[in-house]
Amino acid sequence: MVSTNNLKNGMTLVVDGEIWRVDSFQHVKPGKGGAFVRTTLKNVRNGKTLDKRFRADEQVEQAILERRQLQFLYREGTQLVFMDTETFDQSPVEESRLGDATRWIRDGDSVELVFHEGQVIDVNLPASIEVEVTESEPGHAGDRVSGATKPATVETGAVVQVPLFIEPGDRVKVDTRDGSYLSRT
């Protein structure tokens, strides 16, 4: 348990049976009435945000998270199988638990998974990755509009909007947070 007076950004709490990360907080002492803490919380599992007020010095449960590096092995139906490289234990994880992050994970990649009470609740990917373009339509002569893009499929199976000059076989840098093209490498 932790006091609401000791909250910090990034701290994880258990509120109403769900795990929430503190995005921001503000101690408020109105002229009349008791002090309180206004917080903005983000659900770790689904990304929803919640504005919640706590009484000052109220006790809330702190969620203890464990972060471990695991290697992605393969997909099996709707599950992704990861292996701990130290103990060689394999952990199947439902694809739905990891959300959009599954679009950027390749076989053999080392990924940081976040565990709470033995269950995977999140995955931490690097902000950007380099991937190879496997399919894209050719850019046609005369297609010289500034900023024009076309869809391209990359080696992970994700579709990214890229500039017209990108061809199959090119390596591109992609932002894993929103799936946007950053540069050709």
d(CA 110, CA 15): 31
Whole-number mean pLDDT of the chain?
85
Average pLDDT rounded to a whole number, residues 47-73: 87
Strand, coil or helix: what is 96?
A: helix
What pLDDT, on a 0 to 100 scale, did the predictor assign at position 173?
92
CB 123 within 8 A of CB 146: no
Side chain identity at residue 40, one-letter code? T
Is residue 8 over pLDDT 70? Answer: yes
Q: How many CB atoms lie within 10 A of CB 20?
A: 24
What is the third-level CATH fold of 2-62? SH3 type barrels. (2.30.30)
Residues of each domain in the chain carrying CATH 2.40.50.140: 66-124, 128-184
- Per-residue pLDDT, averaged over 73-87, amounts to 86
Q: Which residues contact 44 (CB under 8 A, 6 or more apart)?
A: 12, 19, 20, 21, 114, 116, 121, 122
Spatial separation of the C-alpha atoms in residues 82 and 121, rounded to whole Å: 14
The confidence score (pLDDT) of residue 165 equals: 84
Task: Output the CATH code of domain 66-124.
Answer: 2.40.50.140
Rounded mean pLDDT of 111-136? 84
- Residues of the chain with pLDDT > 70, as a percent, come to 96
C-alpha separations of 149 from 32, 47, 98, 104, 132 in Å: 57, 29, 28, 20, 17
Integer angstrom CA distances of residue 61 from 11, 102, 122: 11, 30, 19
Determine the pLDDT at residue 146.
67
0.85 surpassed by pTM: no
| Delimiting residues of CATH 2.30.30.30 domain(s) in the chain | 2-62
151 and 164 Cβ atoms separated by less than 8 Å = no
Confidence tier at 143 by pLDDT (50, 70, 90): low
Q: Write down the pLDDT at residue 112.
A: 87
Q: Is 108 helix (H, G, I), strand (E, B) or coil?
A: coil
At 101, is the secondary structure helix, strand, or coil?
Answer: helix
Which percentage of the chain shows pLDDT scores above 90? 5
Q: What does the chain come to in residues?
A: 185
What is the distance between the alpha carbons of residues 148 and 27, in angstroms, rounded to a whole number?
47
Q: What is the mean pLDDT of residues 12-39?
A: 87
Q: What's the rounded Cα separation, in Å, for the pair 86 and 185? A: 33
CATH superfamily of 128-184: Nucleic acid-binding proteins (2.40.50.140)
pLDDT at 107 > cutoff 60: yes
The per-residue pLDDT for 51 is: 92
Q: Is the pLDDT of residue 57 over 60?
A: yes
